[in-house]
Structure 1
Amino acid sequence: MSYGTLAGRTAVITGAASGMGAATARLLAAQGVRVALLARRAERLEELAATIEAEGGEALAVTADVTGQASVDAAAERVHSTFGQVDLVVNAAGVMLPNPVDEGRTDEWQRMIDTNVTGALRIIRAFTSDLVAAAADGRTADLVNISSIGAHVAFPNYAVYGATKAALTHLSSSLRTEFGPRDVRVTNIEPGLTDTELGGHIDNAELSGQLDGMFDAVGALSSEEIADLVAYATSRARHINLRQLVVLPTRQA
């Protein structure tokens, strides 16, 4: 499928070492977008950048941890020095560590908050001026946040994860009131069950088994299908903002 209006744009994609971030980077690059790949795993980023370039795209691998302000600042400086102004930002970095709240795993709570909420805010802060300037120049400017169906559907033992995604969804709504009047679009995507590495973060055998059972019973979306939504939303005419996209496997209630 072709997304004709994407060619020539410059994107920053977090969580680009795997899953939705990697799939989005590869798809956007295939459409002529210069992609800056941000994640912690340098070797995975370099492999993806090499793949993209072998396919005729342009990619920059930038090792960065969104939970650290200094790391994000350094990443933004490298992106700007190499690619210049950015007009498309995709917050795809995320971590899911479900467990009963009464287990009190405060370190996991903090990690999810730091990655899923504060990490997204750090990236937004780093590239807001780019998006606003691009829009002021009459170009299309997009911020895409990858949230989750867990933002508004409660699942037992996913309370903190769901709370972080609810915060990201609400942040997206609020940012539209600030960015929309300046012609910067904000799109919030809430996937349901999706086949990514998130499930591999779970160290609770019972919960991991439950997730596996859902995959067997419901089936799952692929990372490439989420990437397709990102590309579709960001390739619309610049006066059209697909503000909220909820996507589920057909069998998922």
Structure 2
Amino acid sequence: MSYTTLAGRTAVITGAASGMGSATARLLAAQGVRVALLARRAERLEELAAAIKEAGGEALAVATDVTDQASVDAAAELVHNTFGRVDLVVNAAGVMLPNPVDEGRADEWQRMIDTNVTGALRIIRAFTADLVAAAAEGRTADLVNISSIGAHIMFPNYAVYGATKAALTYLSTSLRTEFGPRDVRVTNIEPGLTDTELADHVDNAELSGQLDGMFDALGGLSSDEIADLIAYTTSRARHINLRQLIVQPTRQA
């Protein structure tokens, strides 16, 4: 599908080294969007940027740790110096580390909070002025946050992960009251079972097996399918805000 209205826009995409972030970067770039690729794995970003450029797109690889404010500040400076003002931000960076709460894995809790919540806030802070200015000029401006159906559907042993995603969903809802009156759209996307590298982070053999069983029984969405949804959402007329999107495999209740 072609989303011609996206051409000429400038996007920042976190979590761009893999999964939904990478797929979104490829699709947006193919539609004529300049894409700044943010993630920790520099080598993966460089490979993606090279592939996008080879296909005729514009891409900038920016090694960034969203849990580190100095890293985000440096990334924002590089993006601005290279591409100028941004009008589309996709918060796709995330980490999922399920375990029973009574195991007390405080390091995992902190990592999820720092990445899934505070990391998204750092990116929002870095590029809010860009989005507001773009909208004030009459251009389309989008903030897209990738949450999860875990924000409101309970899964045993995913309490902390679900709590971080619930926080991101609430943040998106609240930000609309601040950004909407200034013509900046905020979209919260909650994917269901999706084939990404998140599952690879699970170090609990029982929970990993449960995930495998769910994919076998229900099937799963692909990262490309989530990217397609992001492209569709951000290519609507600027007065239309698809604000809350829940997407899951048909077999997933």
Partner of 1:62, secondary structure, is: strand
Residue aligning to 1:13 = 13
Partner of 2:35, secondary structure, is: strand
Cα distance in 2 for residues equivalent to 1:248 and 1:15: 20
Q: Which amino acid aligns with 1:108?
A: E
Residue aligning to 2:143 = 143
Residue aligning to 1:69 = 69
> How far does residue 4 in structure 1 lie from its aligned partner after superposition?
1.4
Cα distance in 2 for residues equivalent to 1:172 and 1:5: 24
Cα distance in 2 for residues equivalent to 1:141 and 1:173: 16
> How far does residue 66 in structure 1 lie from its aligned partner after superposition?
0.1
> How far does residue 181 in structure 1 lie from its aligned partner after superposition?
0.0
Cα distance in 2 for residues equivalent to 1:82 and 1:2: 26
Partner of 1:102, secondary structure, is: helix
Cα distance in 2 for residues equivalent to 1:248 and 1:79: 33
> How far does residue 64 in structure 1 lie from its aligned partner after superposition?
0.3
Residue aligning to 2:219 = 219
Answering whether residue 50 of structure 2 is matched by residue 50 of structure 1, we say yes
Residue aligning to 1:59 = 59
Partner of 2:138, secondary structure, is: coil
Q: TM-score, normalised by structure 1?
A: 1.00
Residue aligning to 1:88 = 88
Cα distance in 2 for residues equivalent to 1:44 and 1:219: 27
Cα distance in 2 for residues equivalent to 1:8 and 1:103: 49
Answering whether residue 168 of structure 2 is matched by residue 186 of structure 1, we say no
Cα distance in 2 for residues equivalent to 1:247 and 1:35: 24
Residue aligning to 1:33 = 33
Q: Which amino acid aligns with 2:43?
A: E
Residue aligning to 2:175 = 175
> How far does residue 69 in structure 1 lie from its aligned partner after superposition?
0.2
Q: Aligned-residue CA RMSD in angstroms? A: 0.2
Answering whether residue 137 of structure 2 is matched by residue 134 of structure 1, we say no
Cα distance in 2 for residues equivalent to 1:27 and 1:164: 27
Cα distance in 1 for residues equivalent to 2:73 and 2:154: 35
Q: Deviations over 1:41-71 (max 9, x none)?
A: 0000000000000111000000000000000
Unaligned residue ranges in structure 2 (runs of 5+): none
- Structure 1: 4+ residue segments shifted above 6 A: none
Residue aligning to 1:114 = 114
Residue aligning to 1:102 = 102
Partner of 1:126, secondary structure, is: helix
Unaligned residue ranges in structure 1 (runs of 5+): none
> How far does residue 5 in structure 1 lie from its aligned partner after superposition?
0.6
Cα distance in 1 for residues equivalent to 2:238 and 2:3: 13
> How far does residue 177 in structure 1 lie from its aligned partner after superposition?
0.3
Q: Which amino acid aligns with 2:78?
A: R
> How far does residue 157 in structure 1 lie from its aligned partner after superposition?
0.1
Q: Deviations over 1:86-109 (max 9, x none)?
A: 000000000000000000000000
Cα distance in 2 for residues equivalent to 1:166 and 1:209: 25
Partner of 1:165, secondary structure, is: helix
> How far does residue 167 in structure 1 lie from its aligned partner after superposition?
0.2
Q: Which amino acid aligns with 1:246?
A: I
Partner of 1:231, secondary structure, is: helix
Residue aligning to 1:208 = 208
Q: TM-score, normalised by structure 2?
A: 1.00
Cα distance in 2 for residues equivalent to 1:51 and 1:220: 26
Q: Which amino acid aligns with 1:96?
A: M
Partner of 1:27, secondary structure, is: helix
Cα distance in 1 for residues equivalent to 2:81 and 2:244: 33
